[in-house]
Amino acid sequence: MEIVVQVLVDGASDDLTFSYTVPEGMSILAGQRVRIPLRNRTAIGTVISVKEQDTSQLNYRLKPIAGQVSEDPFLTPGLMELASWISSFYLTPIESVFRTMLPKPSRGDSEKRKTEKAVALSDKFKPAELDSFTGRQVKQREVLEFLLANGVESLAKLTGEHGFSRSSIKALEDKGFAVIKERVVTRDPLAEVEYVESKPLTLNPEQAEVLERVQQSAKAIEAGGKVKPILLYGVTGSGKTEVYLQAIQKAIDEGKGAIVLVPEIALTPQTADRFKKRFAKIKDQVAILHSNLSEGERHDEWRKVLEQKARIVIGARSAIFSPVANLGLIVVDEEHENSYKQDISPRYQARDIAVVRGHLEKCPVLLGSATPSLETWNNAQNDKYELTRMSQRIDDRKMPLIRIIDMRQEARKTQSGPTILSHKLRQAMEERLANGEQTILFLNRRGFAKNILCPECGYVANCRHCSTTMTLHRKEDRLICHICGFSQLPPRSCPECSSKSIVNAGYGTERVEEVLRQVFDRARIARVDTDAMRRKNQLRDTLSEFRAKKIDILIGTQMIAKGLHFPNVTLVGILNADVGLHIPDIRAGERTFQLLTQVAGRAGRGELEGEVVVQTYTPHHPSIQFARHHDFEGFAEQELQMRRQFGHPPYLHLVLITARSVHQQRAEFSLKTLHARLAKGLPEDMRLTEPLPSPLVKSHDQWRYQVILKATSARKLAAHVRKVMNDLTFPSDVIVTVDMDPYSMG
């Protein structure tokens, strides 16, 4: 009998594995990364399984593994199982799922870790020897004393901030008293930040009830029972975060770990701080994975988790793959957020993955939102998920008053240019300035003008690489495509008819900022969008200035829409609620409702009451009317009814299949071929759309065509698509992508 391991080679497009033996003295575990001989080269792969086997019967000899990438497995058994689930559900090779689960520096043929030179005392050195260092050697003595007191220290620090000379250290090395060695450096992005511990608050009855339900769920699992994921439907400001914090504390008390998913970017600084503060005493056990980390920092945080030094992980989407052992809780904050869906392969939905992982690793899953996704809400209605509610704001604070302003009427009053501020909003802002209160203005479009056009001939500046208009950014004086990033100088006259009367149509945050500076010339104004927040920590700094009331008006994109908590903000203005309402997307109405509710939720979170002014050209749209009345359930009911009628999610699963190519005909032809194959033998309970150009037919110079396949069962959908795809090959310049449960309809 011999130990035989199955290895999945990196880059494999199917799930074929190879068998190898294990050399004497090497111990190999499933999930480990190894080097293997493959034909005439050495390849890297992941060990899928390890078993004992009688190899004497084989009519060929198995080769031994060539080496280990590292001594510990990078993937836990739970993650391996999860990867196989993802691979079959999202129609992705398992190998690419493995890759997604690992931080980049650990994917190669060796784990790339940052090292530095460090100086330590050798065994030869005895403290008694200090006295022999006299006269000109006193400098060396100081180094020795320092190392005695502080232990090992980095060479760079010794010669840098501690001011010792390289020659003193060299002399000690020559005498054999000090040794210089390479050591792994762990970067802690928050090492410098001091956190004051925040004590748990006394929960109100609604919060206590939710915490209790999570506890019961954990107990039921302990007792071997099956439990459902728990939806915490709690209005904005109802204290959901406090519930998460205390639920995590309980998991930690039980000796377990926890993962908290938060949406991308902006939410992270403030939310992360709340977690770091609560767990200040065990700060080192908290790993934070946010998008601003460098690759190395991210890798270090991941290592901390892998080595079980960190037990609490807070991060965006991919944090769901953290190798936390012994999971006691998974929290998905703002579970409705679109950023949980990854829009490149593997196109997974992290919230759904959280539910699956909780199921596989037997831990409670808590999904929280003030505006649950209709998928989750429907699951709660159907008793697949357990529903808990928190319907009151903390201290019975009122929900903000929402006013709807009909911009069609306002536009009639405006003489020239776009109407940016309605009379009502302007007045409300003036009041806030007079009272020393703060205002947040929200507009989900960056740049100065949405596009530029010629009123004489109808010319519009389009991107030459995409089927979309270019946005004017005035400070840079460039037209920029928000799809591909292509930019060019704005024309001074119309390229078609030479007319000089080219106009800036529509507006973005940059233009709003300019208008605000004119209208409120005394106010302190800051803009938050990806253009204005380029510098590292700039967002964090701006938000802390805002908190310190050094800014009166904050204008921003979705970067400021969610999760922020500023007690002195009493007014929120939504400048154009219609952005996003008319895009071809089955979730457009839902997204608008969520956005309005979330943005509105930033107002009145302190002692003072909040007010929200919503400017819109479609004041009677259900998304706007239900948001106005803080009526999530009403919205969900009518929207679900419509989704049922049209066969949209959550009633049916969709697969979006797109063919793209720089050659228009090839993309179209490939897609039509694929469509024909899908149609042949289409199971009765499946529906297939006609092959059509994608809504964004050209993007990054590639033409895109698509079909959508629908069915109640995702598994059956996947099976049909897999069968068809396996039998088809496409020209090398055509890329076909398959998106299960798509969020963007292309």
- Summarize as ranges the residues that interact with Zn ion (CB under 5 A): 454, 456-457, 459, 463, 465-466, 481, 483-484, 486, 494, 496-497, 499
* Least distance between ligand ADP and beta carbon 336 (Å): 13
Nearer of residues 95 and 242 to ligand ADP, judged by Cβ: 242
Question: DSSP label at 468?
Answer: S
Nearer of residues 262 and 659 to ligand ADP, judged by Cβ: 262
* Least distance between Zn ion and beta carbon 653 (Å): 31
Q: How many chain residues are in contact with ligand ADP, going by CB under 6 A?
A: 15
List the single partner that 146 binds among ligand ADP, Zn ion, none, CB under 5 to 8 Å by kind: none
Query: What Å distances lie between residue 354 and 98, 290, 314, 330, 364, CA to CA?
Result: 16, 18, 13, 7, 10
* Least distance between ligand ADP and beta carbon 187 (Å): 30
Query: Cα(287)–Cα(306) distance, rounded to whole angstroms?
Result: 11
C-alpha torsion 280→282→283→284, nearest 10 = 170
* Least distance between Zn ion and beta carbon 499 (Å): 4
C-alpha torsion 362→367→372→376, nearest 10 = 0
How many whole angstroms from its chain centre is CA 530? 16
Coil, strand, or helix at residue 85?
Answer: helix
List the single partner that 481 binds among ligand ADP, Zn ion, none, CB under 5 to 8 Å by kind: Zn ion
Nearer of residues 204 and 544 to ligand ADP, judged by Cβ: 204
Nearer of residues 438 and 699 to Zn ion, judged by Cβ: 699
List the single partner that 639 binds among Zn ion, ligand ADP, none, CB under 5 to 8 Å by kind: none
Query: Cα(591)–Cα(584) distance, rounded to whole angstroms?
Result: 12
**CB of 575 closer than 8 Å to CB of 420:** yes
Q: Which DSSP helix (H) or strand (E) runs through 315?
A: strand 312-315
Nearer of residues 112 and 478 to Zn ion, judged by Cβ: 478
* Least distance between Zn ion and beta carbon 734 (Å): 20
Q: How many CA atoms lie within 13 A of 320 on its CB side?
A: 31
Angle at 290 between CA 287 and CA 293, to 5 degrees: 95
Whether omega before 650 lies within 30 degrees of 0, making that bond cis, reads yes
Nearer of residues 234 and 508 to ligand ADP, judged by Cβ: 234
* Least distance between ligand ADP and beta carbon 238 (Å): 4
* Least distance between Zn ion and beta carbon 339 (Å): 22
Tell me what percent of the chain is helix, strand and coil, each rounded to the nearest 5: 35, 25, 40
List the single partner that 465 binds among ligand ADP, Zn ion, none, CB under 5 to 8 Å by kind: Zn ion
Nearer of residues 486 and 651 to Zn ion, judged by Cβ: 486
* Least distance between ligand ADP and beta carbon 247 (Å): 13
What the block records as the tokens of 292 is: 């601003």
**CB of 599 closer than 8 Å to CB of 637:** no
- Torsion over CA: 48, 54, 58, 64 (sign): positive
* Least distance between ligand ADP and beta carbon 660 (Å): 40
Chain residues 138-167 in contact with ligand ADP, contact rule CB under 6 A: none
* Least distance between ligand ADP and beta carbon 235 (Å): 7
Query: What Å distances lie between residue 569 and 565, 605, 682, CA to CA?
Result: 9, 7, 55
* Least distance between Zn ion and beta carbon 556 (Å): 24
Nearer of residues 179 and 394 to ligand ADP, judged by Cβ: 394
Chain residues 237-256 in contact with ligand ADP, contact rule CB under 6 A: 237-242
Task: Count CB neighbours of 461 within 10 A.
Answer: 23
Nearer of residues 73 and 234 to ligand ADP, judged by Cβ: 234
Which residue's structure tokens are 């927040």?
Answer: 533
* Least distance between Zn ion and beta carbon 492 (Å): 12
Chain residues 388-407 in contact with ligand ADP, contact rule CB under 6 A: 394
List the single partner that 204 binds among Zn ion, ligand ADP, none, CB under 5 to 8 Å by kind: ligand ADP
List the single partner that 201 binds among Zn ion, ligand ADP, none, CB under 5 to 8 Å by kind: ligand ADP
Nearer of residues 264 and 456 to Zn ion, judged by Cβ: 456
Determine which residue in the list 139, 183, 565, 677 makes contact with ligand ADP, applying CB under 6 A. 565
**CB of 451 closer than 8 Å to CB of 460:** yes
**CB of 258 closer than 8 Å to CB of 315:** no
* Least distance between ligand ADP and beta carbon 80 (Å): 34
* Contact flags string 342-381 toward ligand ADP, x per CB under 6 A: ----------------------------------------
Instruction: Give me the amino acid identity at 357.
Output: R
* Least distance between ligand ADP and beta carbon 271 (Å): 9
* Least distance between Zn ion and beta carbon 469 (Å): 10
Query: Cα(9)–Cα(7) distance, rounded to whole angstroms?
Result: 6
* Least distance between ligand ADP and beta carbon 573 (Å): 20
If we measure between CA atoms, which residue out of 731, 728, 739, 737 comes closest to residue 662? Answer: 731
If we measure between CA atoms, which residue out of 17, 10, 18 comes closest to residue 74? Answer: 10
Chain residues 180-239 in contact with ligand ADP, contact rule CB under 6 A: 201-204, 207, 234, 236-239
How many whole angstroms from its chain centre is CA 642? 30
Query: Cα(68)–Cα(36) distance, rounded to whole angstroms?
Result: 9
Nearer of residues 268 and 471 to Zn ion, judged by Cβ: 471
Nearer of residues 119 and 454 to Zn ion, judged by Cβ: 454
Strand 487-488 versus strand 33-38 pairing type: unpaired
Nearer of residues 66 and 394 to ligand ADP, judged by Cβ: 394
If we measure between CA atoms, which residue out of 105, 80, 21 comes closest to residue 56? Answer: 21
Nearer of residues 69 and 390 to ligand ADP, judged by Cβ: 390
How many whole angstroms from its chain centre is CA 402? 30
C-alpha torsion 27→33→39→40, nearest 10 = -100
Residue 401: beta bridge partners?
611
Task: Count CB neighbours of 410 within 10 A.
Answer: 18
Order of strands across the sheet that contains 115-121: 153-154, 115-121, 178-184
Determine if 602 is a binding residue for ligand ADP (CB under 6 A). no
List the single partner that 239 binds among ligand ADP, Zn ion, none, CB under 5 to 8 Å by kind: ligand ADP
Question: DSSP label at 691?
Answer: P
Query: What Å distances lie between residue 140 and 89, 163, 178, 245, CA to CA?
Result: 64, 12, 10, 50
What the block records as the tokens of 128 is: 């008694």
List the single partner that 459 binds among ligand ADP, Zn ion, none, CB under 5 to 8 Å by kind: Zn ion
List the single partner that 145 binds among Zn ion, ligand ADP, none, CB under 5 to 8 Å by kind: none
List the single partner that 10 binds among ligand ADP, Zn ion, none, CB under 5 to 8 Å by kind: none
Nearer of residues 503 and 519 to Zn ion, judged by Cβ: 503
Nearer of residues 168 and 597 to ligand ADP, judged by Cβ: 597
List the single partner that 215 binds among Zn ion, ligand ADP, none, CB under 5 to 8 Å by kind: none
* Contact flags string 506-545 toward ligand ADP, x per CB under 6 A: ----------------------------------------
List the single partner that 153 binds among ligand ADP, Zn ion, none, CB under 5 to 8 Å by kind: none
List the single partner that 132 binds among ligand ADP, Zn ion, none, CB under 5 to 8 Å by kind: none
Nearer of residues 462 and 625 to Zn ion, judged by Cβ: 462
> φ, ψ for residue 574 (rounded to 5)?
-105, 110
C-alpha torsion 316→322→325→326, nearest 10 = 30
- Residue ranges in contact with ligand ADP by CB under 6 A: 201-204, 207, 234, 236-242, 394, 565
